[in-house]
Amino acid sequence: MNRETACEVYSRLLEHYPIVGERRHFIEFANPYEALIQTILSAQTTDRAVNAIHDDLFSRYPTPEALARAEPDEVEPIIHSIGFHHAKARYIVGTARKLVADFGGEVPRTMEELQTLPGVGRKTANIVLSHAFDINVGIAVDTHVRRVSKRIGFTNSTNPDIIERDLVALFPQKVWRDINYLLIRHGRAVCTAQNPKHDVCVVADLCRYYRVLQDQTELSEK
């Protein structure tokens, strides 16, 4: 897909899913520490599940220092409902300890430093940088971004690193944060994993997947 068509997709999605104020995130957080911990916890679960434990978790561990003093098995019961709680408890306690030991209790603001924290890969680092600091050095590729990007034709890959590379090449940096948000909204509402709603999709005429479907239908009718 060329940049002109990609930008037309962006414009239509933006019109369809208006961005109100500065909010482009789905997890609840009050500061960069909470954004980091919540994003680590959000792997392999829903934002709703993570938001449901927010108050309990951060009322007990309101700072990196407080969480660094905890043992993972103390944290596990609080995050039990989100799944993978053994590993995630180790990740967030380990991350809090490293924040205190290596970063003065502050969340670092670079991709490289963030990725030294337990449980933090490129996707998590992109989300934290974008939502906590409004620093956009890339585009977070989650399951929705991956699926919708491939279907529309932004990329030919299913590899998150290659998809991110393709997306940043297609869109100007000032909309990278918006593109992540809009593709997630579209993936949840319309371009769902099962039974995507092509008939109500505002970008159907620009979508590669839909075009192929139509071609196959026409061929089968001949």
Q: Could you give the CA distance from residue 189 to residue 129 in angstroms, rounded to a whole number?
A: 26
Out of 10, 171, 176, 210, the residue judged to bind ligand SF4 by CB under 6 A: 210
**Smallest gap from residue 198 Cβ to ligand SF4 (A):** 4
Nearer to ligand SF4, 128 or 207 (CB): 207
Out of 190, 194, 214, 220, the residue judged to bind ligand SF4 by CB under 6 A: 190
Nearer to ligand SF4, 88 or 151 (CB): 151
The CA distances from residue 127 to 40, 112, 144, 180, in Å, are: 10, 14, 14, 9
The neighbour count for residue 87, using CB atoms within 10 Å, is: 14
Query: Does the active-site annotation cover 174?
Result: no
Nearer to ligand SF4, 36 or 191 (CB): 191
The structure tokens listed for 170 are 């297609």
Q: Could you give the CA distance from residue 87 to residue 180 in angstroms, rounded to a whole number?
A: 27
Nearest in space to 93 (alpha carbons), one of 112, 79, 75 = 75
Nearer to ligand SF4, 60 or 197 (CB): 197
How many secondary structure helices (H) and strands (E) does the chain include? 12, 0
Of 47, 98, 102, 123, the active-site residue reads 123
**Angle between helix 176-189 and helix 143-152 axes, rounded to 10 deg:** 90
Q: Which of residues 124-163 bind ligand SF4 (CB under 6 A)?
A: 151-152
Of 88, 98, 142, 178, the active-site residue reads 142
Residues with catalytic annotation? 123, 142
Q: Which residues in this chain contact ligand SF4 in the complex, by CB under 6 A?
A: 151-152, 190-191, 196-198, 201, 203-204, 207, 209-210
